[in-house]
Structure 1
C-alpha cells in the first residue's frame, strides 16, 4: 500500500476513527465513501466466532485492493492467546495496513511479545502498532505502556485507544452522561500518552441514534485533550469531525496572538495583551497548533 498523502502541515487527522466489522463486506465497501479520518477494520469484538476467518480474508483483501483514498487503515486483530490471534497477525502483516490495533494491552510485556512477532514475521517498517487500553491492568500500567514508545522502539507504538466499554465491564463502573466514574482513568491515560508523544483516541459512544449525545461526548473528549474519538456508526462521523475542529473564533484569535508576538516591539516580552486578554509565550504553541489543525482540516475536507 502506498504511503498516505499528508496534509500541508504534516498533521495526521484522527478526529473520527470508525470501526467497521470485517465480516460485513457491504460495510467494507461503503467505508470507501465515508468522510471518516481513519478506519479500523475489525476482526475482534465486532465479529462473531464463526465469522472470524471470513472477516480476516475480507479485511485483508480490502486493504490490499485499496480505494480508501488518504484514510488511514488499521486492522484490529484478535489477541495472540485466542485461536485466531496468530493467523490474524500474519495476514494483517501481509496486507500491510498503516497500523495494527492490538487488543488487551495490559502491560509492556504484551508490546515486547508483539515486537518479537513483528521481527519474526518480517513486518514492513511502515506498519505501526496501536494499543487498546481496556483493562484495569492497562490503567495501572499505563505509564510503562506509554513509555514503550521510547524504551522499546521495535514495538512501533504510536497510538493508544481507550476501550471504555471493556473498562466498564471489568470495573463495574457505570457509563453515564459526563462519564464521571471514568474521568480519573481517562485523564491518567491521556497524561501518559502526552508525556511520551503518543496519539490517544477516546472510546466509543454506544447510542448510535443519539447524535446530540454523541456530539456532547465528542466535545468533552476534545476539551479533555484527545486527538479524536473512535466511533461505531457513520452518523457519528460529523459530530466527531466538527467537535475536534477549532472554531472560526478560535482560529481568528490564535492568528491574532501569533501576529502580536511577532511584532518587533513584543520580541522581548514574556506576556502581552490581545483584545483585552493576557497571553504568555507558552500560548504561542497552542495558537500555532490551532491554526495548523485548521489548515490540515481545510486541506482534507476541501
Structure 2
C-alpha cells in the first residue's frame, strides 16, 4: 500500500459505509485513513461525466488498497442505461465486494445487473455470485417496490436508503431534524428486515456534530446497524453509535438475568416487570457485542497480533 492505512478489525460488521468521489485520489486516501468498514467509490453523483474514465482507473487501485487494509471495497455505478455497463467493464478488474445500483425501482433492473456481473465474474476469474448488489432507494416508487426488488437476486444482501433525491421525490422540505423522512426510514428498515437483508441508513448530509448526533440517535432507536456516510469525519461517530460497549453489554446481561429470575419465580407483579420484548432486545445487544468481539479476535488472529478490546 502507498500509505500505512489502519486495519479494520470490525469491517465484517458493516457499520459505516463511506462514499468517496471516484475520480478524486485525495478523497480515496482520506477514506482509507478512516475506520470505515466499507469504502464506496462513487461514479454517479460524485463524479462528473468527463471524469468517469479516469475515475474507473483510479477505482481499481482504491479497491486493492481497501482490501489490503481489511475494508470492504465497493463501487456505485451509473444506471445501466446511462453508462453503468461501461463502469462495470472497467471496475470489475478490481474485484469489488459490492456494486451499488442507483435509482433502483424495479426487480428487472437488478436482474440485468446480476446477469452483467455473472459474465464479468467469469471473464475475470471471480467466483460466480460473489459480487453483491446493493440497490439504492431514491424515490417513492423504489421504496414501495423494495420488497420485490430484494428478492430479485441472491446477490442482494443489503440495500441503502438515499436522502436528497428521496426527499425531492416526496416533495419534502429538508431539515436538520430529519422528521420529514422518518416514515421512509422506518418503512425501509421494515422491508429489509422482513426480507432478511441488511439495511443501510441514509447519510447525514449536515456536517455539524450535534446534527449528526441527533441523526444517529434516531438511527439507533429505529434499529439500524449500518449507515452511509458522505463525510469522512462522520465515520468514528457512526462506528461508536453502532457498536455496543462493554457497559451496554453489562446492562443487557443484568436485565436478562432479572428476566430469567422473574420467569423462574413466577412473579406476576406488574410493577417493575420485565417483558419478553425487553429481554429479546437485551439478547440482541449481547449477540451484537459478541459478534464485535469475535470479529476483532478473528481479524487480529489473521494479522498475527494480540487481541484487542474494541468495545469501549
Measured against the shorter chain, the TM-score band is: 0.7 to 0.9
| 3-state SS of 1:53 partner | helix
| 3-state SS of 1:41 partner | strand
- Structure 1: state its 5+ residue gaps: none
* Residues 1:239 and 1:49: Cα distance change in structure 2 (over 3 Å): same
Shift of 1:197: 1.0
Aligned partner of 2:229 in structure 1 is 231
- Structure 2: state its 5+ residue gaps: 1-6, 297-308
| 3-state SS of 2:81 partner | coil
Shift of 1:16: 1.6
* Residues 1:166 and 1:272: Cα distance change in structure 2 (over 3 Å): farther
Aligned partner of 1:69 in structure 2 is 69
- Give CA-to-partner distance per residue, 1:53-99, whole Å, 9 cap, x none: 111110112213546522221111111011x3112122333211211
Aligned partner of 1:288 in structure 2 is 283
Aligned partner of 1:146 in structure 2 is 150
Q: TM-score, normalised by structure 1?
A: 0.84
Aligned partner of 1:44 in structure 2 is 44
Shift of 1:128: 0.9
* Residues 1:283 and 1:48: Cα distance change in structure 2 (over 3 Å): same
Contact 2:203–2:230 (Cα < 8 Å) also in 1: yes
* Residues 1:41 and 1:68: Cα distance change in structure 2 (over 3 Å): farther
Counterparts of residues 61-210 of structure 1 (less than 5 Å):
61-66=61-66, 68-82=68-82, 84-121=83-120, 122=122, 124=127, 125-148=129-152, 152-153=153-154, 156-208=155-207, 210=208
Indicate the RMSD between aligned Cα atoms, in angstroms.
2.8
| 3-state SS of 1:130 partner | strand
Question: Partners in 1 of 2:168 and 2:68 — Cα distance?
Answer: 34
Question: Partners in 2 of 1:42 and 1:198 — Cα distance?
Answer: 22
Q: TM-score, normalised by structure 2?
A: 0.81
* Residues 1:145 and 1:267: Cα distance change in structure 2 (over 3 Å): farther
Aligned partner of 1:253 in structure 2 is 251
Contact 1:98–1:128 (Cα < 8 Å) also in 2: yes
